[in-house]
Amino acid sequence: MPKRSYTYKALNREVGKALHRYNMISDGDRILVGLSGGKDSLTLLWILNERHSRIPINYELFPVYIDHGFEDSFSTPLAKYCLGTGFELRVEFTDFGILAHSRHNRENPCFLCSRLRRKRLFEIADEIGCNKLALGHNKDDIIETLFMNMCYAGEISTMVPSQSFFQKRYTLIRPLAFVDEEIIRRFARENKFPNFVNPCPTAKISKRQEVKTLLKQLFRSNRKIKGNIFRSMSHVKAEYLLK
Q: Do the domain assignments include residue 175?
A: yes
Q: Do the domain assignments include residue 79?
A: yes
Q: Do the domain assignments include residue 36?
A: yes
Predicted local confidence at residue 70, as pLDDT: 83
Q: Do the domain assignments include residue 1?
A: no
The DSSP bridge pattern shows strands 170-173 and 162-165 to be antiparallel
* CATH code of residue 171: 3.40.50.620
The total domain count for the chain is: 1
pLDDT in tens, 176-201: 999 999 999 999 999 999 998 888 87
Q: Do the domain assignments include residue 24?
A: yes
How many angstroms separate the CA atoms of 144 and 222, rounded? 17
Is there a contact between 95 and 71 (Cβ–Cβ < 8 Å)? no
Q: Which residues pair with 93 in a beta bridge?
A: 67
Whole-angstrom CA distances from 10 to 16, 180, 213, 234 are 10, 9, 24, 22
Overall size of the chain counted in residues: 243
Q: How many CA atoms lie within 13 A of 81 on its CB side?
A: 21
Is the model's pLDDT at 50 over the cut of 90? Answer: yes
pLDDT in tens, 122-165: 999 999 999 999 999 999 999 999 999 999 999 999 999 999 99
Q: Domain containing 235: what range?
A: 6-240
Q: Do the domain assignments include residue 226?
A: yes
